[in-house]
Amino acid sequence: MKCVAVFLSAVALIGIAGCDQVMTSAPLAGDTFSSPMDELPGGLNAAFIQGDENFARVFTVAEGLGPIFNNLSCEGCHPGDGRGTPQESFFRFSKAGDLLSDQGGPQHQDKSIPGVPLEEVPAGVEKSFRLPPPVFGMGLIEGIPVETILANEDPEDRDGDGISGRANWVPAPDFVPESHVGGGPGLHLGRFSRKAQVSSLVQQVSAAYQQDIGITSDFLPEENPHPQAGSVALGDQVPDPEIPAATVLQTVMYVRLLSPSDQGERTAQVAQGAAVFAQLQCASCHVPAMKTGLHWIPQLSQQEARLYSDLLLHDMGPGLADDRPDGDATGSEWRTAPLWGTRLVAEFLGGKAFFLHDGRATTLDQAIRAHGGEAQASRDAYVGLVSAEQQALLAFLGSL
């Protein structure tokens, strides 16, 4: 038992290290990623509080952690409900489009409980490193009607502007109820995850429990395949499923009700940067706002979601390509990353920011310069700006 205790103590430090760095200073109103939508009725507020507890819960071996996993809790990967750092990053792998689900895919787990060997990655696979994305504003994204998102599609680039966003149509897992957005038979619009390969919050949260923490649920009742350990996972003696559907649905409701942070002050420089943003056609992909449809939760009904994304796939060129398809997305396509919350990224990560899908950029300038493919013309136009215009654009992005 001593080795288990030592193991858990060591891993706990890994899991909660980000919590010590969530904010560099005390946040002001509107400066957090963990606040609920305004004026929630009592029942929804209670559900939010319970989901918040679920999100922060640190699992132990005795509660079913593992046998292979990436972190101990949801919050361990998403400090303060924002994005993670390269320290919390993981990679997905596949080979010639095969997700290799019988060989430990599609996600690599880099930790294991005592008595279980670490997962080995098959040879010759394509790897895609991913930074854990922020989880706030999910309910607003979920609430945008399909037709509103498709209105920005231009897969054949008929307007000739070089930008041809397209939807990622994906099947929903059988366990996602038809009553949930993105659930039921047929193909659904992918709107979550880095390549828009996930159509529903139920799928996103259930898979995170199973893949990231090794916690099975009524939705995904079987452990991750682990070829090196076979069907015997020494040390994992907790019967599956390890959490009920109710826990997953509470966590789904929590992320659904998380409010985006407020935008910053609109100074003269920020206003100039907004004009440059439009001039460079950045808004063609980073669409400033889309409106949600009717929703049974008033705070999500017919609301303006200022996410600065079209939620569509775009070819970002060879520099950002991971050469690994996901759903209908190719190895060079990515969902447009929402820009809301950009001004607080560094504040939530101990003073250092990380951008792009794998965190390779530590400044907005680096992130812009890494753009290629459909964004090449906008990137080149940015490089050609005078310094004052560049700084104005960066100030605008830093205010979102």
Tokens of 339: 């820009």
**Whole-model pTM over 0.75:** yes
Residue 352 shares a structural domain with residue 226: no
Distance, CA of 322 to CA of 113 (rounded, Å): 30
What total of structural domains would you count in the chain? 2
pLDDT in tens, 162-193: 999 999 999 999 999 999 999 999 999 999 99
In 3D space, the residue among 89, 76, 59, 71 whose CA is nearest the CA of residue 18 turns out to be 76
Residue that terminates a domain, selected from 257, 273, 300: 257
The tokens describing 313, both together, are 């796939």
For 235-283, the pLDDT digits (tens) are: 678 999 999 999 999 999 999 999 999 999 999 999 999 999 999 999 9
- Could you tell me the residue range of the domain that residue 215 belongs to? 2-141+171-257
CATH number at residue 327: 1.10.760.10
Asked whether residue 17 falls in the same domain as residue 136, the answer is: yes
pLDDT over 70 at 293, yes or no: yes
- Show the beta-strand stretches assigned E in the chain: 68-69, 90-94, 111-112, 126-130, 169-171, 187-189, 290-291, 304-305, 313-315, 333-335
Domain boundary among 257, 277, 301: 257
* Confidence at 230, pLDDT banded by 50, 70, 90: low
The reply to whether 150 falls in a domain is no
For residue 321, tell me if it sits in a domain: yes
In this prediction, residue 16 has a pLDDT band, given cuts at 50, 70 and 90, of very low
**Would you call 260 helix, strand, or coil by DSSP?**
coil
pLDDT band at 367 (very low <50, low <70, confident <90, very high): very high
Range of weakest confidence among 181-185, 237-241, 374-378, 386-390: 237-241
